[in-house]
Chains A and B, each alone.
Chain A
Amino acid sequence: MPNPILVFVENKDGTLKKGAIEALSEAKRLSDALKSEVVALVIGNNLGSAAKEPAFYGATKVLTVEGAAFGHYTTAPYTKAMVAAFNKVKPDAILFPATLNGKDLAGSVAGALGTSALQDVISINADGGTLTARRPVYAGKAIITVKALKAPSIISLRPKMFTAAKSDQSKQSQVEKLDVAIDANDQRVKVKEVLKAATAKIELTEADIIVSGGRGMKGPEHYKIIEELAAILKAAVGASRAAVDAGWRPHEDQVGQTGKTVCPTMYVACGISGAIQHLAGMSSSKCIVAINKDPEAPIFKVANYGIVGDLFEVVPALANELKKNQG
C-alpha cells in the first residue's frame, strides 16, 4: 500500500473549517484511487470535537498537536507540527485548504521539506499512481497542470472547488497525540490581539452568492441597496478596485486580480464595467448577473444574464421581486 495522504484539518476553536472538510473529502477520494489511507492532523489549543470529526469524512487516523503555542495560527509552530506529522507518517501527499492560513502553512511546510507547494489547486488527478494537479495562473486567465518532482506533493485546495462528502457520524478513528516542542526560536512572532470585522460578514471566498458594487455606485452611502439585496440572497458583498480605491469599501472586499479570486454559484455585478483585472477574479463564477446602464460594457460579454439599466432603480426592484418570491 502506498504511503498515506496527510490532511491539515484547519479548525477554529474546535470547529472544522469548510475547506478542511473539502480537503478531507478529496483526500478520501484520492486514497481510494491510490489504495492508501487518510491521516488527519488537527492543531490547536482547544480542540473540542475536532479530533473526532475527520473520521466522519474518511480519515482512518487522527494526529493531534495541542498546546498554548498553537492557540492562534503562527507560521513557525504550525510548520513544526506539520513536519512532526510528516516524519511520523511519511505521506506521499499533504493536503491543505487554500484558506489564508492554509496557503501560508502549505508554503512554509514546502520550504521546510525542501520543495514547492501547488497552491490554490482546482482539481487533482491520481491516474496511474502519480498525482497531477490543475491550478489557475495569471489570475485564472490560464490553467496549468503540474506535478511535484519530489515527494511529498504539497497541495492546497481552492475553497468551493471540491465537493464536501456527507458526514458519516458512525465512523471512528484512532487518535494519537503528537508532542511537539516549541522553543523561543519558534515564538519570535506573537499574536497580541484578534480584530474581528465589525459585523459578522460572510467570507467572499466561501460565499455561495456575491453581490458586488463598482464605481457606478457613486458613493459609499449607496451600498445600502447592495447590502439589502445581499441580505435577501444571504450573499457576501464585494467591490471593484475602483470602489475600494475611492475609499467606499475596505480592501478585503476587492474582487479581482489584485483582490480576491472568487467562484460563487452566482455573482451579481452592479455598476461594474468588467475590466480584465476584475474579470480575472470572478469569471469562474457559475452564474454571472450584470446590471449596468452601458449596453457596451464588457461585463455583458461574460454575464449569463444582464439588465441594461440604472442600478439605482434595478437593484431595489430586484430586491423587492426576490422578497415577493420568498413570500
Chain B
Amino acid sequence: MKIAVCIRRVPSTETTVKVAADGKTLDPAGVEYIVSPFDEIALEEGLRVKEKLGAEGNEVIAVTVGPAEAATTLRTCLAMGADKAILLKDDKLYQRAPYEIAQGLSAALKELAPDIIFFGKQAVDDDNSQVPTITAQLLNLPFVGLIVKLDLAGKTATVQREIDGGKEVLEVVLPAVFSAQKGLNEPRYPSLKGIMAAKKKPMEEKAANITANTLEVLKMEYPPSRPPGKIVGKGVEAVPELVKLLKEEAKII
C-alpha cells in the first residue's frame, strides 16, 4: 500500500506574531518552524498503517509544498519514519491560498497514485481547513475529514470522525483522502536512530505546479487588545465580590 502524507511547514505555536512591514504578512524574523501539529498526527497514522501491514511492499511518502527550507521539515518526517519525501518547491507558500496549494499537491499526488492520502485537519498558521478536501476534489477521490480512528480491511477503511456533539462511524472505499483530528493517535518523537537514517533517505525536489490565484490578503492586523487583568482578591473571601462584579459590572449573570 502506498500512503502519502501531506505536510505543512508552519511557525512554531510559541511564535509571538509580528506583522511585517508590508502590513499583510507575518514578519519571519526570529520565527522557528515546525511540522504543523495535526500533520504530525497524520504522519503518525500513516506510519502505524504501514507497521500493521508490514514493511514489505508498503511505503509512507511525505509531501510538501514549500520553500527550499521546508526540506528540514521533511527531514523531520523522514526521521519519524517516512520512507521518502517530495518537496514541491514554491517560494510563495505563505502568500498562497488553499486552492493553489491543493493544486500543487494534487498534480504530484496524481503521479504517485497513493492508496491513502492523509492530511492534518488544518494548518495552525493560516487555519484554513480546506486543502485536504479541495485536494480530494481535484483528484476525484472520496474524502472524510476530522478522523479520530481508522481501521483497514483490504481496500475498505472504517473510520470515526468528529461531528458537532458526537462521533460518526463511516465506511470508505480506497483510494481516499482523510484529515486527522487530535485524538487519532499520539505522534512519536524522532529517535536518534531515525534522525541518522533520515539523512540517507531519498528526497525528491521539483517545482510545484501552481497557476491559480484565488484570494488576496489586503491587510493583517492584531486582534483588539484586552484590558489589563484585574485581581478581585484572594481565596474564598473574594468570591462574593466576584459574583457582585459579574452581576453589576460585567452584567453576565
A interface residues with partner B (beta carbon < 8 Å): 72-76, 79, 99-101, 103-104, 106-108, 110-112, 114-120, 132, 135-150, 185, 188-197, 201, 203, 205, 209, 233, 244, 250-252, 254, 257-259, 265-266, 276-277, 280, 283-284, 287-290, 295, 300-310, 313-314, 317-318, 321-322, 325
Contacts and interface: CB of A to CB of B under 8 A. Distances in A.
Contacts of A276: 13-14, 16
B163 A149 contact: no
Contacts of A108: 130, 133-134, 136-137, 143
B45 to A, nearest CB: 14
A188 B252 contact: no
Interface string B173-216: 10010000111000000000000000000000000000011111
Contact of B218 (A114, A132, A252, A257): A132
B118 interface: no
Main secondary structure, interface of B, reads mixed
A303 B230 contact: yes
B162 A188 contact: no
Given A74-B170, A103-B129, A141-B223, A251 B142 contact: no
Given A303-B230, A304-B250, 9 more contacts: A111-B137, A120-B129, A145-B218, A147-B215, A189-B142, A189-B172, A258-B37, A276-B16, A307-B233
Contacts of A309: 234-236, 238
A145 B97 contact: no
A317 B239 contact: yes
Contacts of A266: 246, 250, 252
Nearest to A277: B13
A116 B130 contact: yes
Range class of the B interface residue count: 35 or more
A314 B239 contact: yes
A205 B165 CA distance: 10
Interface in B127-147: 127-138, 140, 142-146
Nearest to B144: A189
Contacts of A79: 137
B63 interface: no
B98 A194 contact: no
A244 B186 CA distance: 12
5 contacts: A108-B136, A110-B98, A145-B217, A193-B169, A308-B234
B13 A147 contact: no
Main secondary structure, interface of A, reads mixed
Given A110-B130, A305-B242, A143 B221 contact: yes
Given A75-B133, A141-B17, A149-B216, A307 B235 contact: yes
A117 B17 contact: no
A111 B99 contact: yes
Contacts of B242: 289, 305, 307, 318, 321
B111 interface: no
Contact of A119 (B128, B218, B232, B245): B128
Contacts of B220: 137, 142-145
Given A100-B164, A304-B250, A283 B226 contact: yes
B12 to A, nearest CB: 10
Given A191-B169, A307-B232, A148 B221 contact: no
B169 A302 contact: no
A305 B246 contact: yes
Given A103-B129, A258-B37, A111 B229 contact: no
Nearest to B219: A145
B229 A302 contact: yes
> Which 7 residue pairs spanning A and B have beta carbons closest together?
A107-B130, A111-B137, A251-B183, A111-B134, A188-B142, A309-B235, A141-B17
Contact of A75 (B13, B143, B238): B143
A191 B124 contact: no
